[in-house]
Structure 1
Amino acid sequence: MVDVEQAEAALVEHYPRLVRLAYLVLPSGRSRGRRVLTAHHLVQRALPRGRTPAPVVPAQRTGPEGDPGYALVRLQVVRTALEAGLPLRRRAWPKRAQLPPLLPQVWGLKLFPRPGGADELALDQRLSALSGAARAAHALRGLERLPDGDVRGILTAAGVADADAALAEADRVPDAYRLLDSPEFDPCSLQARPTDLLRRRRHGRAALVACAALAVCGTLLALPGDGWGGDGPAAPPYARNPAAQAALDPAKLTRVSPTAWRTSARTDFSVWPARGDRTGDRALLRRALAVWARPGGAVQVSATPGTPTGGPAGPPRLLYAGTVDTARVVILYDGLRIARYAEPVHGTAGAALDFARVDGAGRDDAGAVVLSRADGNVRYLTAPWVRGAARRDLRAPDTGATGLTLTGGVTPPLAGPVQRPGPCSSWSVLQLTDGKGTRLVTDLGELVPARLTAGAPGAPRPASGAGALRTWAPFACSLGALRSAGVRTVNAWAFAEQPLPGAGRDGSGSGTWVCTRAETWRGDGARVLAQFHTPGGRFGAVAATAQDVPACGPREPRVLAGVLWKSGAGSRYLLAAGSDGIASVRATGGVEGSARGRLLTVRAGKGARAYLEGTLENGKPVTGLR
C-alpha cells in the first residue's frame, strides 16, 4: 500500500520529470501556453486520496522505478493526460481532466518552453500525428526507459483498450529518444511574453471604474464608529462583546520581561519575551489580532491537524513583531496555540495566518518557532534560553555542525529539508544548545519544528550524540513522509541487528532494524515505521508502517517486522526481527517458517507475502507491523 505522504514525496522529488511526461502525452493542437499549464495542473492533481495498492518492489532497487509512490503517481499522470486529450461529447459529462485547469493560472503573460532546433520541431510534428496512447508509449519508452512489457502494463492500467496497437503506432516514430530531454519539451523551463496589450488596456479601464465604486462603498461602511476599516484583511465584525473587543486591543497584549524565564516555574512559550523591530506598531498588531478573530476570504489560513482556528478567548501573549525579509510578521501565543500572521511589507494583499497546537510544551519542545520560509530557506525565532544554534546535515553524521549567528534570537536563512529533483542527498536540521544540553529539531512544514530523539522508547535521548546521529543517518529522508501532520517528536530506535544469509560468500554482513515513531501534539495519530538498512546502502528501506498503534512507544516498547530481501547471489529471503523480550518468531501465509529467539530467516519466492507472529517470554502474543 502507498500512503498519500509517500506519493507526495515522490511527486515533489520527481516533479520536473512528471510534468515533462504529461506535456509529451498531451496533444499539441492546443496552444503551447495552455499545454504547459495543463501539464502542471495534471501532475499537481495526481496525488491519491488515501492509501492505494501498489506492487511489491524488491528492497534493493534504487531510483524512481523502485519507488511504488512514483509508480503510482506516474500512472495517474499518464491516465489523466490521456483523458485530457479526448474530445468533448455532447451527451456525456466531461471528465475532470478535460476541463480547463483552475490552477495554476498566469495573468498578463504567455508561458511556453524554450524552442529547440529543427529535429525537435520535426519530432513534435510526428508526435502530434499519433494518438494519445501512442504518444504515451513513446514517452514511457524514451523518457522513462521502460521495456515494452512495462509500457504495456502502464497503458492497460491507464485505461488504454489496445496497448499493443499503441506500441505498434509508436514504432512509426524514428528512435529520437535523446530529443525528449530537450528544452523544447521542458514545461519547467519557460519563456514569458505579454498577452494582448490593447485588450488588457480596455479591461484595465473597466476594472479601474469598478475598483473606484468599491472604494466609495468601503469608505461609507467604515465611517460609523471604529468599524473594520483599520483591521486590514480581516472580515467585518459579526459580534460585539467586551471579551472579543479586549482580545483585539493591541494595548492589552501580554508582554513578558526578557528575564522572566530565569525565575519562572514554567519554561515554555509563556515566558518568551516580545522581540522584533515592530513590537510598538499598534496598526500591525491590530491587523494581526483582527485577522486572527475574523480572517477575510482573501487570507490564506492553515493549521496543523487537530488545531482550532477560532479567535483567542482573551488577550494573547506577543512573542514577536518585526520585518523578516519581505514580510511583516507577528507571532502570538494564547496558551494552546501559536499563531503567525504575515503580510507583505507594502500593503496587506496576500496576508497569511498559520496555527500550530503547542499545549503541554516544555523546555525541550519550546526551543524554536519557524519565523518565515522563502526560496527553500527557513528562519527560526529561538527561545530566550538558547545560547547557540548551528546547522547540521542529518545524512552526514561525521560532518561537524556549522554555527549560526543569532540576532535578537533570529537565525539567518537556513536551507530547509526540501525535496529536490534527484535522490535525497542531505537533510538539514537545526541544532540548539542551552545550559542543559544540545537538541536537534527539523522543519516538517509547520510553525513548530519537530524534535528528534534516539534510543529505547522508555528512555529516549536527544539525537545530537555521535551514536544517535549514526542511527538517524540512513533514515533521515524518511522524515519527508511526516510533513504537515502535526508532529511533535520523532524517535529512532535501533532494536535489532540481523546477520544476512550468505555473508561468508558475498560479504553481506548484518542488517540494522530501526523503528521510528512520530508523536503528534494532539496525542493521537502517531505514525510508526519499521525500516531495514543493509551494509553499504545509502538509505533504509521501509519494511512496515502503522498508524495509531502503541508499538515502539513507551506504552508498548516492543516491535516485530519483516522484509523481503534479495542477496547478492540472487536468492530471496524473508528476514524478520523483533525487539528484546520476544522469545520466538513464526511466519505463515506465503512463507512458512519459525525460529526460537527474535530473529527469523526463511527462503521466500518473488513477491511472497507473509504474516508474522511472535511470542514474548511471558507467553503473550505479538503481531508484526504491516
Structure 2
Amino acid sequence: MPLHPSPLRILGNGARLDVKEAEAALVEHYPRLVRLAYLTLPPSLGRHRRVLAAHAVVQRALYGGAPTAPGQGEGTVPAPRTAGSAGHGGGPQAPAYAGVRLRVVRSALAYDSRPRWWPARVPPPATLRPSMPVVRGLRLFPRAGGIEEFTLDRVVAEVTGPARAALGLLLLESLSEDSTRTLLGEAGAAAPADAVRVAGEIAGSDHDRVRTLLRSPEFDPCTVQTRPSDLLRRRNRRRAGTAAVALFAVAGGLALDAATGPGHSGPPAVAPRATPVVGALDPVALARTPAGQWADTSRVDFSAWAPRGGRTDDEALLARALGAWARPPAGAAVTRAPGTPDVPPAQSPRLLFAGDLGGEAVVLFHDGGVRVVRYAEPRSRGGVPELDFARVDDADVTTAAAVVVSRSGGAARFLLAPWIAESATRDLLTPDSPARPLDVDEDGVTAAVSGPAGGGGCGSWPVMQLRSSERIVEKHAFLVTDLGDLSPVHLTHTPKPGSGAPARQPREATGTDALVGWARTACSLQGLRGSGVRAVNHWQFAEQSLPGIRAGASWVCTRADTWRGQGRVLVQFVPPATSATAPAEVVADRRNTALCSRFGQHVVAATRWRSPTGAWYVLAAGSRAATGIQVAGSVRGASKGRTLAVPAPRDAVFRASARLRGGGTMQSVR
C-alpha cells in the first residue's frame, strides 16, 4: 500500500501544514496509531480483517488531502510547534500527529457506518464498507492474551465504535475527556459525550490495569501470528470448480446431441447421475473424537466429545442430516439462536450423536468452532424434519456440559458431556429441598427434565445440578437451566459484601446462600428465553436496613451474558417477605452493557418503597466502591454510606447518584 503524498496541503482557509511532517509523524508513531485503529474498528470484521483494516486505515491517513489538526476552525493556522514537535513529525502532541490521529479515528469509525439508504438495524455488507488489503492463503491475527484480555475484548465488542475510540483515546493516547469529546465530534461521531461516558464505565476506577490490558499483544495488530486459511475449503472449492466445468461440458454435449440427433421423443441416451457427495457433506469424512480424549486434553469443550448413539455408522441418516444442513428441504422447521449463522458447513463437522429417541432419529454436529447443529427427522412417514442452530464458541467445562437432544410436552432430554460424573435435578424455588438423582442411559442421554412453566407462570424453576469427573477437576458441581436454546444456561453466584469472599468473583450457585438468593430472583429468567444466553450471574451487591422496621432488604444485579458477547442486566430490589420465593422487584433493565461484569464493577440503583405503616420512601444503594449516595429531583437527600432512605411522596420523581472511592461519580442504572 504505497503512499504518494504531495509536498504541501491546504488546511482550512489558507492554513498550511507540510504533509512531510504528517508522514513523518505517521511513520514514527505507526504502532500506536494501528493499535488505536484496531481497537476502534468493529469486531464483526473478525480478527484477520481487523488487522488488515487497521493497517489500511493508518497507511491511507494522508490520502485525499492533508491531515487537519483537531480544533482548527476556518481561517486559523495550526498551533505553534513545541520543542517536542520539532523534527520528523514531532511527538504525540504535535499538530501533524494530531491531524493524522484524527483522520485515523474518522476512517476507522467509517467501518461502522452505513449509507443513508441502508435499512436501520441491518449491518451493511462488506462491499459497502471501506476497502482493505487482500491476503490470500494466510490468516493474520494478534497473539492471544489471558482471560483478562479475552474478557475485556468481549466487553469492548458490546459497545459502539465511538465508545471504543473513546476508550483508546482516553487510555492509549492519554487525552482528557474534553479533548476526547472534541476529537470524536470532529471525526463525525454522533454522540461523543455518551461515547466518553461508556468508555469511562469500561475503564472503571483502575485505569492503569485496563490501559495495560489494551497495550498487551491481544490488541496489537503489529505483532501478529500467521496461519494458513482453510485448506480443506480451498481444496473443496477447486474440486467444486472442476466438477462445475465438467458438468457444463457434459450438459453442453447432451444439448448438442439432442439438437442434432434423429429424434427428441425417446429416452435420453445417458441416464442422469447423482451428484457425488464430497468434502464437508461427506458422512465418511465426519470428524470423530476418540473415546476418552476428554480426560487427556487441556481443551475441555465440544471438541472432546466422542460420537455416541446407536446410529453413528448409519451413513444414509448422516448424509440426510448433512444434506438438510446444506439445503433444508421444503417445509423443514428451522430455528436458530440469535446471532447464529445457519450457513452450510465450511469443513467436515464433528459428529456428537446419532440415534433414535422416541419417534425421532436425531443427529448432533459441532462445526469445530461456532455452532452446534441438531437434525431430527420423524421415524414415521409424512413428518417434517427439524434443524436447530445454536452458538457455542469458546464453550468450556460448564457451558459445553449438555445439549438438548429432544423436546416433548414441556420437557427436554439432554445429552451430557462425557466428563459429567453425576447428574441431578432440583427446583430453584425450593432451596431447602435436596437434589434428586437424574437417570442417564449408556449413551449419556438423560431422562426427561421438566422445563420452567411457560405463559408467565412461575410455580417452579427446574435446574440440573451436574458434577464433573475428578479426572479433570475435583469436586466441581454446577447448575444449568433450560431457556429454550440447544445449550442450557450456566447459573453462577457472586457472594454479598462482607461475606469474606473476594470482590466480584462469581462462583458456582450450589451453596446455601446462592440457592436462597436465586429463589427470590429465578422467575426473572422468564424474560431471557430464546435469546441465546450463555450464563447468568446473581450478584447481591448491597444490603440495606429499612426505616421503621427491623428487617432488611437486599439489592441484586442479575447479569445475562449471551454467546454473541452482548450482555443484559436486571437490577432487582429484594424486600423482606413472608415467602422465601416471593419474586423480587425489577427496578432497572439495561441491554448491551458492561454493568455488573468484570469491566463494569460499579452499580447504583434506586426505587420507591412503602413501609408497613404506609409511609413512602426513596431507597438507593451502591456497590462496594460507593462512599456516598445522593438523590435529586422532587425529593432530595444524601448519605455518607452505601445506602440511603429518604421520605418521599408516592409519585416522587428522582435521580440517584453515588460518589466512588478514588474519585468520580456514577448515575443510578435505569
Pairwise same-fold verdict (TM > 0.5) = yes
What is the CA–CA distance in structure 2 between the aligned matches of 1:453 and 1:562, rounded to whole Å? 24
Cα displacement string for residues 407-444 of structure 1 (whole angstroms, at most 9, x for unaligned residues): 021100011112257x5221000111112310100001
2:450 to 415, 428, 438: 415
1:385 to 405, 414, 419: 419
Please state how far the C-alpha of 1:273 moved relative to its aligned partner.
Answer: 0.8
Equivalent residues, number: 387
Q: Which runs of 5+ in 1 are unaligned?
A: 1-49, 51-219, 228-239
Conserved? CA contact 1:565–1:572, under 8 Å: yes
Please state how far the C-alpha of 1:467 moved relative to its aligned partner.
Answer: 1.6
Paired amino acid for 2:272: P
Instruction: Provide runs of 4+ in structure 1 moved above 4 Å.
Output: none
What is the CA–CA distance in structure 2 between the aligned matches of 1:351 and 1:319, rounded to whole Å? 19
What is the CA–CA distance in structure 2 between the aligned matches of 1:608 and 1:369, rounded to whole Å? 48
- Sequence identity percentage: 44
Cα displacement string for residues 378-410 of structure 1 (whole angstroms, at most 9, x for unaligned residues): 100000010111011011111000101210211
2:303 to 253, 270, 274: 270
Aligned to 2:584: 540
Paired amino acid for 1:415: S
Aligned to 1:438: 477
What is the CA–CA distance in structure 2 between the aligned matches of 1:279 and 1:458, rounded to whole Å? 44
Aligned to 2:273: 225
1:476 and 2:522 correspond: yes
1:347–1:250 Cα change, 3 Å: farther
Please state how far the C-alpha of 1:265 moved relative to its aligned partner.
Answer: 2.6
2:565 to 487, 504, 523: 523
Please state how far the C-alpha of 1:596 moved relative to its aligned partner.
Answer: 1.2
Aligned to 1:166: none
Aligned to 1:108: none
1:616 and 2:660 correspond: yes
Deviates more, 1:298-307 or 1:329-338: 298-307
Aligned to 1:169: none
Cα displacement string for residues 528-559 of structure 1 (whole angstroms, at most 9, x for unaligned residues): 01111122251111011111121110012121
Aligned to 2:285: 252
Paired amino acid for 1:558: H
For residues 255-334 of structure 1, the aligned pairs below 5 Å read 255-334=288-367
Paired amino acid for 1:621: T
Please state how far the C-alpha of 1:251 moved relative to its aligned partner.
Answer: 0.8
Conserved? CA contact 2:453–2:459, under 8 Å: no
Aligned to 1:454: 493
Aligned to 1:117: none
1:409–1:270 Cα change, 3 Å: same
Paired amino acid for 1:330: V
What is the CA–CA distance in structure 1 between the aligned matches of 2:635 and 2:595, rounded to whole Å? 24
Paired amino acid for 1:515: C
1:410–1:223 Cα change, 3 Å: farther
1:512 to 534, 541, 554: 554
What is the CA–CA distance in structure 2 between the aligned matches of 1:471 and 1:605, rounded to whole Å? 30
Aligned to 1:365: 399
Q: Secondary structure at the match of 1:387?
A: strand
What is the CA–CA distance in structure 2 between the aligned matches of 1:444 and 1:477, rounded to whole Å? 12
What is the CA–CA distance in structure 2 between the aligned matches of 1:612 and 1:466, rounded to whole Å? 32
Please state how far the C-alpha of 1:572 moved relative to its aligned partner.
Answer: 1.0
Paired amino acid for 1:352: E
For residues 595-606 of structure 1, the aligned pairs below 5 Å read 595-606=639-650
State the TM-score, normalizing by the size of structure 2: 0.56
Aligned to 1:551: 595
Please state how far the C-alpha of 1:223 moved relative to its aligned partner.
Answer: 6.8
Aligned to 1:20: none
Please state how far the C-alpha of 1:519 moved relative to its aligned partner.
Answer: 0.6
Q: Secondary structure at the match of 1:328?
A: strand
What is the CA–CA distance in structure 2 between the aligned matches of 1:559 and 1:473, rounded to whole Å? 22
Please state how far the C-alpha of 1:579 moved relative to its aligned partner.
Answer: 0.6
What is the CA–CA distance in structure 1 between the aligned matches of 2:364 and 2:667, rounded to whole Å? 45
What is the CA–CA distance in structure 1 between the aligned matches of 2:602 and 2:478, rounded to whole Å? 25
Q: Secondary structure at the match of 2:309?
A: coil
Paired amino acid for 2:405: L
What is the CA–CA distance in structure 1 between the aligned matches of 2:323 and 2:482, rounded to whole Å? 28
Paired amino acid for 1:321: A
1:485 and 2:531 correspond: yes
Cα displacement string for residues 233-274 of structure 1 (whole angstroms, at most 9, x for unaligned residues): xxxxxxx9xxx8311111111111111111123111001011
> Rg bigger for which structure?
2
Cα displacement string for residues 578-606 of structure 1 (whole angstroms, at most 9, x for unaligned residues): 11110111112233222111101112222
Q: Secondary structure at the match of 2:278?
A: helix
Aligned to 2:389: 355
Please state how far the C-alpha of 1:297 moved relative to its aligned partner.
Answer: 3.4
Aligned to 1:499: 545
Paired amino acid for 2:308: R
Aligned to 1:568: 612
Conserved? CA contact 1:432–1:440, under 8 Å: yes
What is the CA–CA distance in structure 2 between the aligned matches of 1:414 and 1:367, rounded to whole Å? 15
What is the CA–CA distance in structure 2 between the aligned matches of 1:460 and 1:223, rounded to whole Å? 65
Q: Secondary structure at the match of 1:355?
A: strand
1:401 and 2:435 correspond: yes
What is the CA–CA distance in structure 2 between the aligned matches of 1:388 and 1:334, rounded to whole Å? 27
Paired amino acid for 1:309: D
What is the CA–CA distance in structure 1 between the aligned matches of 2:380 and 2:563, rounded to whole Å? 35
What is the CA–CA distance in structure 2 between the aligned matches of 1:494 and 1:348, rounded to whole Å? 52
Please state how far the C-alpha of 1:348 moved relative to its aligned partner.
Answer: 6.2
Conserved? CA contact 2:301–2:396, under 8 Å: yes
Aligned to 1:339: 373
Conserved? CA contact 2:453–2:460, under 8 Å: no
What is the CA–CA distance in structure 2 between the aligned matches of 1:311 and 1:446, rounded to whole Å? 20
Conserved? CA contact 1:388–1:406, under 8 Å: no
What is the CA–CA distance in structure 1 between the aligned matches of 2:416 and 2:536, rounded to whole Å? 20
Please state how far the C-alpha of 1:613 moved relative to its aligned partner.
Answer: 1.2
Q: Secondary structure at the match of 1:283?
A: helix
Conserved? CA contact 2:452–2:458, under 8 Å: no
What is the CA–CA distance in structure 2 between the aligned matches of 1:512 and 1:530, rounded to whole Å? 11
What is the CA–CA distance in structure 2 between the aligned matches of 1:578 and 1:399, rounded to whole Å? 33
